[in-house]
Structure 1
């Protein structure tokens, strides 16, 4: 190359570089200018250009780029430009593929839009990139609870269940069933059993993306990825020969829930018999099973029992007609969502589930266990008949008098002729029982000799009780020797009997139905909760009107119910005081605004959202002689429902703001301190936030049950197969919805105060606190259950672990159990003066139960920071 050409090239390259730098400089200036003007979309475009032209600037502009991305994503989200939003994140991740903050934010957007599997992947990646990233860990735990339900751990730890399935599969394969389809494979354990038993071909399908990928990892880790074909499909979508080469000779499945049919086993097996299975083996013929199809489980028998149970009752029936001075009118009929005749068109699971052996207060059987039905999973016609939803009737004599609270249902799963699994309350099993609460009767009392009558059907993939009733012994009808199908002799006799029944299917036509969540009904039944609020609110309102007796003031306009004529007879010089403003932003159905309205000249605002619940609160207000304007619905006054915490009027402030601090699951609500900070700015002088502060209590326990419910314990329960490391990746450190009164555990310490969370005086909060706890018993610390004392003020508090509580409790489960020991010194027993020497006790301590409140201005979280053993 000539010198002139070389000079030209260098000059040209120099000019290009100078032009690149100028463009980068101008783009950075433009991006900054756009940010100042909150033009995030244009700023984002400029930063993309800069980072593509100058990758060396990635580190220096990273934080500003993240901020711009997140603000632009919020704007796109509000405009419903979803595809543009995800395009932006994909571009950002191309530039910063290992940025945990961007991964976490991408996951949050995906989760809000219902893409749980995809969100989990981004949260998981963020945690892997930075194991100390608290927000990503919390998000992953939340998604893990949703994607991999906790029963997977309990089921895989049930060695008896696993061994029974293994033996039944071995029998089928040995008898000639060499091609196997595992429907709803989950972790793939039944497919592993089939391959171990000697099946020549094993196929497995799983609809959940998370569980499908988990099963792929499990199968590969057990060196069977070439022998088991996994399909990310619903069984209804499997086609021959596209997905499997031909019909199989054996289908194995455990798509059963506590109510047997709730996971769609009947519908999936009908499809399997019609499209995926060989024809069934002829009855009573000894032929080669390889030419015929069969299903494991082979059949099931469903059993039921009528029970009295106070715990079930308080979650599904409102027991009082008056709560803290508020009358609940008979015209309002409260039902839980399990009530079959609540008028909802959506398919609602008709039962809840309980581990009856651990239900608080126990239960009393009112009848003997009775057989509800049987189903043969190897009989296609029987399955089709069941799916058509034809109902049948049963009657059962009452053997023990009491209150009819529920029909409890369980089943025996017959895997084959030799092997069965029972989910009975008396069995130690991974299954819970299905509970059908009894609602809508005018009287729930039964006595020995009465007859409980039920009408069952299978509909919408559920076993439903369409009608529950009872026939009293005074009717003179002897049902004890009659057939279980309610054959009462003739049609006229049947009609007369049904007409005399107390039945859930009857409505008087005058009542207003109010369907609540079971926790909302339990809250209405929580009398100490409402009495406590009434007393605490009364003191605040009295202090703000020190010269007046609130109960005797003329406040008819605000809801006292004072006679209007009496008010008109008062002197015209009397001045009606301005009302005090109370805002209830607790979640769900709440009557606290009405309680506040009875305490004086109060204008109470409710944050109830559902129109049907607002209508019911209006009915209750009218029944308590409240004028309409006493209680109003706050959300109807707001332009933006996301900004609930605002002034009642431009010139007014709140006297009381009621916040939800504790979730019914047993955890502290998110963003509590942020809400409290806003609330403090909206209070009049002397006004209060309820609660004013919360004390967190905890204790050390040894609980094998919590370990089994939180993680798979090695390979022993899974019969040597390597599953634990993969499923345990989805374990979470906190178990929620616990009831400490029945939790199988051994307390190793006394309860201790772990943390104070002050909403009125945040300066009293510590970001970190070290606690020393005395050990009162030797053992292995496996978990730290915790609960709350909710202080409305210094005198009035609620304990979330007491017997009336509508809250459940939670527990931190340790990754590794910690051995602790208490030293006992035993002195020789003496009988001098009729007394014996007692045992002297020298306890160890556990130091640093480090409950930490992270990012207290944004979210409130209770975490174990560290826990270690300290010698005495």
Structure 2
């Protein structure tokens, strides 16, 4: 049988060589059916075939054939974690999220070191349940204030309630406590409606009707008749961004009875001019960088994808100064349909006049709101209020052009209601150039930029020993090719670099022209569709690699390209940067981690939410801003391996310096640009690379002075995670045999052979 099976394997390889992948797949399956004993031997090449085949089927949208192939494969290899993970990725891609969850979970169950499957499972959880749900539900101020307002407003045994944007159903359960005639809850997310059903029924409430639908597509028949009380919390940091005006206008026309009302009753949005370099560098290119690039008068802002503001926890920015008085921008009466319609149709600007409080610069405008839930009860998101609700962040209108002001100066700004969402009016005298976040943050990382500039002289001397500067060719894959630009200015022959978007490419060209660099020397690759074949047979004197993602993770595609360039396209004796990248880890305790990844029932008025929502807790958290994360370090930082070449599983021992319950491992990188040159840490608030957190399933109790192991597990695909290996308690000291003349007593005091073997 094995000989016949091997013939099928040969046929399969021939079909693979001619790209007849479907036939090759069939041949492999026949071989394995004939002789199952050989299947593990040929599994790697079989899996390569099914990966290529399914990529082709996916491009042709042949889902049924794709999943049939996976079905056959998994029946042949039921415990193959790679196949389970691959199936999960396609299920995720095509929107079968529950099925994807199951396959990722099965892969992790078979091998907890399958990091890629774990990351994929986290992606499913993030998609199904937004992380802000945890923050919102853990906000006791919001929950208790809404509960009190609902109790003060609702008429027992008279009102019928509609909860729009119900989420986990908390507001509906608050209403249910007052025994209304009926409660109906609506949410656009299928996952959240299923979760709301679990939460309400788990709390013993069986008569709340929960519907999965888009409210603006429904009428009163869909909800069982018109309702007398509508409750909602469909607000974002900018108050109106979740289409609350459209939703409530539709509700007045379709859902609310003649005696109906809405909770909250009213809302008011406030704005203020501020200065914060730490805040604005996320959105605008800073003046020092523009001077370095010879574009001092260019307004360079983040590519906004039609977003008019961002959301931030403003109170965490230590350098933020309130430069003006606070102004009320918009007041809205949710119980007045005409007012809602007027806001929606308004084309005239909302004009605001600020009075400056001191001399200085205004480089951003921030906004927050008050919700007047009833005549007596209100909530605020004012960052300066100790009683603010932390369920919502504050709005940052990042396209404000920085301006220098004097004390008591009047500043006028216009805001518009654009499609039911507030926008800051454009300065007609200022043109804005847009670039990707990767470029903006890279160029605004002053410490890293200074380090790159500090390498130029040494690199020039080093490369000058190889050949004349006019012959030097460079590949710079940094978000912006600063090293390459500086070398071109010194006379280098050519540069190949990467721009994420066409807007970025236009920006690159502006900078090259401003520095009198001929564009004929520059080849700019755009997007991420290109691969290592684009480099052909070219060789480079210097290569600057970049595979660290903004979020703190490693971009495995870019790492493969960087290593390919380093090993196959670098001239002998050439310069590769960075010389080394080390991963640094530190065990911490952080309240922020707790409230953003787990719900605590005591925060939701003791309703049984945690059991259901905490199934969606994740084990990895990226995009951690070191300038904003509040935490307590339980150990010193320690290196847990390198990242420059192929990563392997590694570990490090570290002593606990402060006892307590650890709930995360905080990680960042130490980058050595050139050998024996100073290292730059990304564990800074102004770093262009964020930190990452690895979260244990349960908090780990640590004692001060004990030694623990941090383990960096790396799977075959290069994905990694860092875990705390709890200290193993020392074996108990053997009991001293009692002084006795009884030989049997002496024998009983000795360990048996079986016990020794077990130890």
Instruction: Tell me the TM-score normalized by structure 1.
Output: 0.75
Distance 1:251 1:536, change over 3 A: same
Contact 1:752/1:773, CA 8 A, preserved across alignment: no
- Distance of 1:707 and 1:854 partners within structure 2: 28
Contact 1:270/1:384, CA 8 A, preserved across alignment: yes
Q: Per-residue deviation at 1:76?
A: 1.8
Match of 1:768 in 2: 650
SS in 2 for 1:417: coil
Per-residue CA distance 1:683-723 (angstroms, 9 max, x = gap): 1112233222112223233222221122113x211222221
Q: Per-residue deviation at 1:398?
A: 1.1
Match of 2:608 in 1: 722
Match of 1:497 in 2: none
SS in 2 for 1:430: coil
SS in 2 for 1:666: coil
Match of 1:473 in 2: none
Match of 1:254 in 2: 233
Distance 1:324 1:437, change over 3 A: closer
- Distance of 2:7 and 2:552 partners within structure 1: 54
- Distance of 1:517 and 1:645 partners within structure 2: 25
- Distance of 1:31 and 1:852 partners within structure 2: 35
Contact 1:735/1:811, CA 8 A, preserved across alignment: yes
Q: Per-residue deviation at 1:266?
A: 1.2
Match of 2:393 in 1: 432
- Distance of 1:597 and 1:417 partners within structure 2: 67
Q: Per-residue deviation at 1:596?
A: 2.8
Q: Out of 709, 718, 725, which is 1:859 matched to?
A: 718
- Distance of 1:615 and 1:308 partners within structure 2: 30
SS in 2 for 1:407: strand
Alignment of 1:205 onto 2:189: no
Alignment of 1:70 onto 2:64: no
- Distance of 2:372 and 2:563 partners within structure 1: 59
Match of 1:245 in 2: 224
Alignment of 1:452 onto 2:411: yes
Q: Per-residue deviation at 1:98?
A: 7.9
- Distance of 2:270 and 2:575 partners within structure 1: 53
Match of 2:478 in 1: 586
- Distance of 1:540 and 1:277 partners within structure 2: 71
Per-residue CA distance 1:260-299 (angstroms, 9 max, x = gap): 11111111111111112212xxxxxxxxxxxx22222221
Distance 1:354 1:47, change over 3 A: same
Match of 1:349 in 2: 307
Contact 1:845/1:869, CA 8 A, preserved across alignment: no
Alignment of 1:632 onto 2:523: yes
Contact 1:593/1:631, CA 8 A, preserved across alignment: no
SS in 2 for 1:431: coil
- Distance of 2:424 and 2:607 partners within structure 1: 40
Q: Per-residue deviation at 1:362?
A: 2.7
Q: Per-residue deviation at 1:630?
A: 2.3
SS in 1 for 2:725: coil
1:256-655 correspondence runs (5 A): 256-279=235-258, 292-320=259-287, 326-328=293-295, 330=297, 332-337=298-303, 348-359=306-317, 361-390=318-347, 391-426=349-384, 427=386, 428=388, 429-440=390-401, 444-467=403-426, 504-507=427-430, 513-546=432-465, 555=470, 579-587=471-479, 589-634=480-525, 641-644=529-532, 647=535, 650=537, 652-655=538-541
Q: Per-residue deviation at 1:60?
A: 7.6
- Distance of 1:413 and 1:206 partners within structure 2: 21
Q: Per-residue deviation at 1:810?
A: 2.4
Alignment of 1:745 onto 2:637: no
Give 5+ residue unaligned stretches, structure 2: 731-759
SS in 2 for 1:294: strand
Q: Which has the larger radius of gyration?
A: 1
Q: Per-residue deviation at 1:80?
A: 5.0
Distance 1:413 1:677, change over 3 A: same
Contact 1:27/1:49, CA 8 A, preserved across alignment: yes
Q: Per-residue deviation at 1:27?
A: 7.8
1:196-235 correspondence runs (5 A): 196-224=177-205, 226-235=206-215
Q: Per-residue deviation at 1:305?
A: 1.3
Distance 1:273 1:734, change over 3 A: same
- Distance of 1:716 and 1:701 partners within structure 2: 24
- Distance of 1:766 and 1:136 partners within structure 2: 17
- Which moved further from structure 2: 748-757 or 110-119? 110-119
1:650-729 correspondence runs (5 A): 650=537, 652-671=538-557, 673-679=559-565, 680-713=567-600, 715-729=601-615
- Distance of 2:289 and 2:477 partners within structure 1: 23
Q: Per-residue deviation at 1:247?
A: 1.1
Alignment of 1:783 onto 2:664: yes
Per-residue CA distance 1:543-593 (angstroms, 9 max, x = gap): 23228785xxxx4xxxxxxxxxxxxxxxxxxxxxxx222112234x54443
- Distance of 2:64 and 2:319 partners within structure 1: 53
- Which moved further from structure 2: 178-187 or 408-417? 178-187
Per-residue CA distance 1:757-779 (angstroms, 9 max, x = gap): 234xx6xx65222322341x343
- Distance of 2:38 and 2:257 partners within structure 1: 61
Q: Per-residue deviation at 1:625?
A: 1.8
Distance 1:268 1:124, change over 3 A: farther
Match of 2:737 in 1: none
- Distance of 2:223 and 2:36 partners within structure 1: 52
- Distance of 1:803 and 1:22 partners within structure 2: 63
- Distance of 2:648 and 2:27 partners within structure 1: 43
- Distance of 1:200 and 1:61 partners within structure 2: 66
Contact 2:547/2:559, CA 8 A, preserved across alignment: no
SS in 2 for 1:181: strand
How many residue pairs match? The answer is: 723
Q: Per-residue deviation at 1:89?
A: 4.1
Contact 2:474/2:495, CA 8 A, preserved across alignment: yes
SS in 2 for 1:146: helix
Distance 1:115 1:369, change over 3 A: farther
- Distance of 1:55 and 1:730 partners within structure 2: 42
Distance 1:691 1:25, change over 3 A: closer
Distance 1:736 1:305, change over 3 A: same
SS in 1 for 2:50: helix
Contact 2:578/2:673, CA 8 A, preserved across alignment: yes
**TM-align CA RMSD:** 3.5
- Distance of 2:158 and 2:74 partners within structure 1: 49
Contact 1:334/1:515, CA 8 A, preserved across alignment: yes
Distance 1:711 1:62, change over 3 A: farther
Q: Per-residue deviation at 1:129?
A: 6.5
- Distance of 1:534 and 1:161 partners within structure 2: 49
Distance 1:860 1:645, change over 3 A: farther
Contact 1:324/1:527, CA 8 A, preserved across alignment: no
- Which moved further from structure 2: 292-301 or 517-526? 517-526
SS in 2 for 1:849: strand
Distance 1:250 1:122, change over 3 A: farther
Per-residue CA distance 1:401-448 (angstroms, 9 max, x = gap): 22101111111112222322111102452221101125345xx11121
Distance 1:813 1:102, change over 3 A: closer
